[in-house]
Structure 1
Amino acid sequence: MLSGFTKFILGFFLAIAVLVGGGVAVALYFMNRTGLAPAKPVFSNDSPSVKAQAPKATEPGGGKPSLKPGTQTKSSSSSTSTSTESPKATPSPKPLPSGAYRGRVNWAEGLSLRSQPNQEAEKIGGVGFNQKIIILSESEDKAWQKIRLEGSEQEGWVKAGNTEKVNEQ
């Protein structure tokens, strides 16, 4: 009789231990899953052509300046008197529209260029960090700015507060 009762108690505690252990394992699994960052979503309106328009690190406004073949930098031009310096970027010859001013992007990740002044509008391009722009106007609620990329005719809307005015000299 004692042997049967002992088996019953041991079986009962073993069943409780299996249930508690399984519950803890499931809880740890779901807690670890919530700690992982989700995968970046890909939306149907994100096309490869929009990504291709973003400035690369070797393009103007994308980080490092690029040199054209046959030009030299200032440091290497001092070695010979006949070498040529790379031409400096000149402001666009067209006068700015009234109320417009020059600026640059100060948001480190760059900005999305949109067709209309709202978040749901179509993405028509991108503007890189420190890229020079011309700020043409602001929306009525001052939350968006219409810009033109300097050296280009591409225009669009960006979120206000992510650009800064550049003092012209």
Structure 2
Amino acid sequence: MLSGFTKFILGFFLAIAVLVGGGVAIALYFMNRTGISPAKPVFSNDSPSVKAQAPKATKPGEGKSTLPSGTQAESSPTSTSTPTESPKATPSPKPLPPGAYRGRVSWAEGLSLRSQPNQESEKIGGVGFNQKIIILQESDDKSWQKIRLEGSEQEGWVKAGNTEKVDQQ
């Protein structure tokens, strides 16, 4: 009789241990899955050619490249085996239309670019956080701004208050 009762108690604690262990494993799995950042959204107006360009060197010594071994070498036409393209002159920015000014997106999630100044109008693209824009005009009720993406001809409307004026140096 004692042996049957002992088996029952042992089986009961074993079942509880399996349930608790499974619950902990599932909880850890979901906690790890929610800790992974989602992929960055890609808007239809993203230009891969702009992202592929290397930043320009502005200080002496920034034109050097770091080799995998940690040593630095001057970049020169003789040290590369592939021909390099000569730098092109950057076109001077077009003059701004009257009343327009330069700005940037200050809303951290970016903005939807719309065809008309209302919430129900068609989305025609997106503008990322800190992206440079040109504010062309404001709607009559001052709740929408018509913008042009800097370096692009794409124009559209965004909600006012999500951009800020940038002083041009």
Q: Is the 8 A contact 1:54 1:128 kept in 2?
A: no
The CA deviation string for residues 133-159 of structure 1, in whole angstroms up to 9 with x for no partner, is 1112446474x5331123433112345
**Greater Rg by CA:** 1
Q: Quote the RMSD (CA, aligned, Å).
A: 4.0
**How does 1:63-142 map onto structure 2 within 5 Å?**
64=55, 86-93=88-95, 95-98=96-99, 100-105=100-105, 111-116=111-116, 122-128=122-128, 130-138=130-138, 140=141, 142=143
Structure 2: state its 5+ residue gaps: 57-62, 64-85
Amino acid at match of 1:147: I
The TM-score, its normalising length taken from structure 1, stands at 0.55
Q: Is the 8 A contact 1:135 1:145 kept in 2?
A: yes
Query: Alignment length, in residue pairs?
Result: 136
1:6 aligns with 2:2: yes
Name structure 1 gaps, 5 residues minimum: 66-74, 76-83
Higher relative contact order (CA 8 A, sep 6+): 1
SS of equivalent residue, structure 1 residue 12: helix
Task: Tell me, yes or no, if the aligned pair for 1:55 and 1:127 is still in contact at 8 Å.
Answer: no
Task: Give the C-alpha shift of residue 28 in structure 1.
Answer: 0.9
Amino acid at match of 2:93: P
Q: Give the TM-score taking structure 2 as reference length.
A: 0.55
